[in-house]
Amino acid sequence: MNKITYTGHPFIDVGFATMTAFVGKQRFADLDTQDLEKIARYIEANYVRQPLRSFLTVAFTSNAWFAQSAFNPDRPGLSPEQRAEAQQKRQHWAERHLRQWALAIANTEPCLFTGLPAAGLELSQKLQPGRVGRAQMPLLQGDDAINFFINGDPGLPMAPEAILALQTMPLGCAKVGGGLLAVHCDDEQLTIGFANQFLQRNLSDVAKAQAAGEDKLPGSPRSLKTLLIETLTDILNRQSRYSQRRPAITAYYFNNGQSPFLEIYHLPLQITGFLLAVQTPTYRQLWNELVKRSWQVVAATRKRNKAAEPSEPRSNYLYEDLFTLPEQAARFVRTYFLRKPDLRRSADDPRHGYSTLREAELISWPLVELFVQEVMLMTDDRVAILKELGDKLADYTRHQGGKRFFRQFFTTQRSNDFLTLLSKTNIEYTRYKRGTDTLLDLDSFLAVFMEGEEVLRSDWRLMRDLVLIRMVEQLRDWIAANEDAIPTEEEVVVND
């Protein structure tokens, strides 16, 4: 009976996920010995060839069984006897890395990750049977190092199935720059989804490179963060079951070669919950348009004697900025939901050309309401106060305050000026309503704009921008007839 389960370790789980995707199954537990053999045969045939032989040293170092020059029977200058000896050595170590699960060799040590019995044969001439080092598991120490191991006993005991998973793991990672991106989730199916997306790209690229006789595996045209969100979005669109559950997602960007490193990127539940929600019919069309207008602007490339061809953008700035949330929520709201331009951006950055006036159709209170509730965890009562204030100020702008007030409210940047404007407008609004209503009562004002009773909230500009978004949505027709009510790009002061 197969006892492979989710372990919680990113490299091993991504390896099992890649194995599952490779054989077209749905769960780790569905893997059988025929599947393990199918995977072992692919690795055996392709890791010893380019482009994988050189590339996979970023995962397993140049000491990996398939990369060692001493085990290469195809290197020049070998006699038939030497070639046969090298082939025998390579096969010896390949079997120990790929097929110990088929051997009934007992080991009293349990695997630290799966709980299954550890492998019974050596994976290195310097480690005890069944123990792995840096050439098998990325970012461990060398086989001779004793630091950070229990009782100075180097290596980690590992089951044959987990060893094969580690060997498979790089196929389910994305090549980004000089490293590999492995994505691990608290949901097994989503981990398999990421592994499958990267696996299919890698298998295709390997086949193309081998057919063309090329030695290098092409990397992703996207930046790491953009690739992560783009892949997640694609998976969510393909598999609707994820709309029922918020996953926590962690990405590991690493290199285990000559200059090892590890960078960790985390998407917490509040961000993945928001991304799940924007894929629903209520928000999808608008969200996709915001994404579309956030891609890096690239010029077409022209090759000699050929027509210019469009280049793929590397980054989507909205996707990239999701990783700044919730800390930079104010900047995110101002940029993507209120469409305030940032003139400091370079020419290839579309945020340079955003415009509240020209893109008023993209300004939507329902989407912003979802954002502040999911990402900022704003309470329903505060959201309701902001919405009501936006409605009242839109009505006041249309019938009483006009362009002058709207421009003031839009551009005010000093806290004392804002408080003065809000107080004055409250009085004017009460007169406009002939004493039947006010903009804000004391409790609402304190809840939205104040810390306690005397100090203005440090994020008061964010609250103002949220109100503005509701106002713009309610005043689209009025703005179209009064375009000069919107300040010019140069007048919009950007505050980070």
Compute the distance between CA of residue 330 and CA of residue 349 in angstroms, rounded to an integer. 19
* DSSP assignment of 318-345: HHHHGGGTTTTHHHHIIIIIS----TTS
Q: What is the pLDDT of residue 242?
A: 47
* CA dihedral for 480, 484, 490, 496, sign (positive or negative): negative
Do the beta carbons of residue 381 and residue 447 sit within 8 Å?
A: yes
Confidence bin at 437 (pLDDT 50/70/90): very high
Compute the mean pLDDT over every residue in the chain, rounded to the nearest whole number. Answer: 91
Confidence bin at 303 (pLDDT 50/70/90): low
Among 96-110, 285-299, 480-494, the range scoring the smallest mean pLDDT is: 480-494
Among 77-81, 97-101, 149-153, 298-302, the range scoring the smallest mean pLDDT is: 298-302
Using DSSP, state whether 90 is helix, strand or coil. helix
Q: Which residues pair with 267 in a beta bridge?
A: 249
Using DSSP, state whether 485 is helix, strand or coil. helix
Q: Between 286 and 125, where is the model more confident?
A: 286
Q: What is the pLDDT of residue 246?
A: 85
Q: What is the pLDDT of residue 305?
A: 59
What six digits make up the tokens of 219? 């990397």
Q: What is the pLDDT of residue 342?
A: 86
Q: What is the mean pLDDT of residues 354-370?
A: 95
pLDDT at 300 over 70: no
pLDDT at 335 over 50: yes
Q: Between 153 and 227, where is the model more confident?
A: 227
Q: Which string of b and e fits 95-111 if b means at least 16 CB within 10 Å? A: bbbbbbbeeeeebebeb
pLDDT tens figures, 201-253:
999 999 999 999 999 999 999 999 999 999 999 998 887 554 467 889 999 99
Q: What is the pLDDT of residue 244?
A: 62
Among 82-86, 181-185, 302-306, the range scoring the smallest mean pLDDT is: 302-306
Q: Between 344 and 228, where is the model more confident?
A: 228
The H or E element spanning position 230 is: helix 224-238
Residue with tokens 């348009």: 289
Predicted structure pTM score: 0.91
Task: Provide, rounded to the nearest whole percent, the portion of the chain with pLDDT above 90.
Answer: 74
pLDDT tens figures, 155-170:
899 999 999 999 999 9
Q: What is the mean pLDDT of residues 373-398?
A: 95
Q: What is the pLDDT of residue 495?
A: 44
Q: Between 114 and 454, where is the model more confident?
A: 114
Confidence bin at 299 (pLDDT 50/70/90): confident
